[in-house]
Structure 1
Amino acid sequence: MTKRAGMICGGLDIGGTKIEARLFDGAMQPLDSRRVPTPRGSADAFFAAVADQVGWLRAAAGADLPVGIAMTGMVEPGTGIARTANLPISGQPMAARLTQAVGRPLPVMNDSMALAYSEANGGAAEGAAAAVGLILGTGVAAGFCVDGAPAPRFGGLPIEIGHSGMPARALARHGLGLWGCGCGRAGCIEAYVAGPGVARIAEHLGLGPEPAPRLAARAAQGEAAAEQALAVWADLAAEALEVLQMTIDPDVVVLGGGLSQMPGVAERLAAALPARLMAGTPLPTLRLARFGDASGVRGAALLGRRAAAGANV
């Protein structure tokens, strides 16, 4: 397919429960979308579902079109092997299986990288020289773009900030121990800052394992203990932002994921961050994702368009 300005394109956003296909016009406005459950039983069933969604995009567009994929996990650049804990394709050769399923390889990126890429192109990080897309949801991870393009990643990893260690100074401030993480280690940032971590903080403070939406509602009603729990969470999340700022030094951090929907979350984190940074460190601008839950699939579509133009992906 030849490249032309304003090319129609499609994206797939693949998570542990759903495969969303979304069609975009030349101005990146959504035209149509379709969701199907993610098969968990076998790689063959998974790639058949991907092929079905790509077929739907082709039919909806009336022709073949660029398609990109955003998914949990990663694809090793050197081997092309998929590595993911939540999909039945770990160890599979992605390019070969996609070619077999849909007739050609499709470009693939991690979903947090897709968030950053989408928001750096027409979104909340438009024009930023260095933009991070930080997912705060059931897990914690980030993507990184430089001048609007996905930053090269040697091993294909996103910014796995969630599986960096929470600083001991932060745990000491709040009397917290080394909490176990889903990765099998203890003391990861994700164990404290992801959605389940919010509930654990609330339980630690005697409120019971309150999920973030209920905790935020209680704080909004003036309950001091709920507000304290959110303040502890924000302080710990600011430690993650500090790591990003001291290593990557972005000028904009875009927040996505379920926790980004808590009222006032960007302002809460912006207020907590200065106390965690070294003196003289510039503060990034914190913004909510402009495209919300659709930012990942939009980033995947942009990736498909980028690959069709012959750019490195």
Structure 2
Amino acid sequence: MYIGIDLGGTKTEVIALDPAGGEQYRYRVPTPRDDYAATLATICDLILGAERAVGEQGSIGIGIPGTVSRMTGKIKNANSVWLNGRPFRQDLGALLGRPITVANDANCLAISEATDGAGAGEEMVFAVIIGTGCGGGLAVNGRVYAGHNGIAGEWGHNPLPWPDETELQYQREVPCYCGKTGCNETFISGTGFATAYRRLSGASLSGEDIARRALDGDAHAELALRQYEHRLAKALAGVINTVDPRVIVLGGGMSNVDRLYTTLPALLPQWVFGGECDTPVRKARHGDSSGVRGAAWLPRIG
């Protein structure tokens, strides 16, 4: 049995898969924010609960919103900042008394979608998380490509390409949690989308509600969504210009905005070098459970 954990900023989910990928158990709970010890305890409880429910012990893979430093063995780059600088893999392994495999959550999404999802069979899959934060991961021939520093695909903390005057003003006023300004994450995460709408309208709404308002004809919502689409297209064009993946798969809350799959392919050629681009942009087949499925596969193929 393969057990996966998706440690998110707002929820933590566990899944148990059989060797064929059949779901045996799945459960999620709120993530204990800003509390490292409680986060470890929550993960242990979820794993042991899954094993009790299925009646079998499994291998363990965990997706996190950051990565394990090759130099220190500690977590870095997590927007769940209470994980940073912590020996997460070692601490959790000691609590459970067995080895665990840890990878970036976007890499887990890439594995899942490259294994039996929207990128199955493709040589290189670039998987995008556009939710609370903004991450990316690469799967090459069905395996994680994390890179020498463990940050391959971390486009969320590259600057938004080709910013216009509105975007230059935005980046001066909306810093990123990483300490820099102008990061893709501040523009194209679900949080960034909500921030852009609030700056236009003065109202604080979720990304889902804003997208719904755009469908209903709200002018501010429509403008925020059009700005978002252009920003996402520019950011993705930067990835295509660098690694030219066979397919791009979107996950996270903003991936549920269905019009993106029509607008993005039309916008990409404006920004891709040479003015030509037919890279497919697809919605994650496994939805918001794709990352946790990829985490479960980590010990086998990660």
TM over 0.5: yes
Q: 1:82 to 1:210 in 2, by over 3 A?
A: closer
Give, in angstroms, the shift of residue 61 of structure 1. Answer: 3.1
| CA–CA distance in structure 2, aligned partners of residues 51 and 131 of structure 1 | 31
Unaligned runs of 5+ in 2: none
Q: One-letter code of the match for 1:271?
A: A
Q: Supply the RMSD in Å over aligned alpha carbons.
A: 2.3
Which residue in the other structure is 1:217 paired with?
212
Q: 1:185 aligns with which of 180, 183, 204?
A: 180
Larger mean CA deviation between 45-54 and 111-120 belongs to: 45-54
Q: 1:105 to 1:98 in 2, by over 3 A?
A: farther
- Say if 2:3 and 2:296, in contact at 8 Å, map to a contact too: yes
Across the two proteins, how many residue pairs are aligned to each other? 299
Q: 1:181 to 1:217 in 2, by over 3 A?
A: same
| CA–CA distance in structure 2, aligned partners of residues 137 and 15 of structure 1 | 10
Which residue in the other structure is 1:71 paired with?
64
| CA–CA distance in structure 2, aligned partners of residues 212 and 39 of structure 1 | 23
Q: One-letter code of the match for 1:11?
A: G
Q: 2:106 aligns with which of 112, 129, 143?
A: 112
| CA–CA distance in structure 2, aligned partners of residues 135 and 277 of structure 1 | 21
Q: SS state of the match for residue 116, structure 2?
A: coil
1:121 matches 2:121:
no
- Say if 2:268 and 2:277, in contact at 8 Å, map to a contact too: no
Which residue in the other structure is 1:252 paired with?
247
Question: How far does the alpha carbon of each residue in 1:268-296 deviate from its partner, in whole angstroms, 9 at most, with x for none?
Answer: 22222111122254431100000001001
Aligned ranges 1:194-205 → 2 under 5 Å: 194-205=189-200
Which residue in the other structure is 2:8 paired with?
15
Larger mean CA deviation between 246-255 and 185-194 belongs to: 185-194
Q: One-letter code of the match for 2:129?
A: I
Which residue in the other structure is 1:4 paired with?
none
Which residue in the other structure is 1:299 paired with?
294
TM-score (norm 2): 0.89
| CA–CA distance in structure 1, aligned partners of residues 156 and 146 of structure 2 | 20
Aligned ranges 1:1-313 → 2 under 5 Å: 8-40=1-33, 42-83=35-76, 84-86=78-80, 88-167=82-161, 169-172=162-165, 176-178=169-171, 179-206=174-201, 208-209=203-204, 211-223=206-218, 226-279=221-274, 281-306=276-301, 313=302
Unaligned runs of 5+ in 1: 1-7, 307-312
| CA–CA distance in structure 2, aligned partners of residues 35 and 254 of structure 1 | 23
Question: How far does the alpha carbon of each residue in 1:136-176 deviate from its partner, in whole angstroms, 9 at most, with x for none?
Answer: 11211101011111113212225221211123x33237774
| CA–CA distance in structure 1, aligned partners of residues 232 and 219 of structure 2 | 20
Compare the two structures and name the one with the higher helix fraction.
2
Q: One-letter code of the match for 1:194?
A: S
Q: SS state of the match for residue 163, structure 2?
A: helix
| CA–CA distance in structure 2, aligned partners of residues 44 and 224 of structure 1 | 45
Q: 1:43 to 1:215 in 2, by over 3 A?
A: closer
- Say if 1:67 and 1:305, in contact at 8 Å, map to a contact too: no
| CA–CA distance in structure 1, aligned partners of residues 272 and 107 of structure 2 | 25
- Say if 1:13 and 1:21, in contact at 8 Å, map to a contact too: yes
| CA–CA distance in structure 2, aligned partners of residues 44 and 249 of structure 1 | 41
TM-score (norm 1): 0.86
Q: SS state of the match for residue 134, structure 1?
A: strand
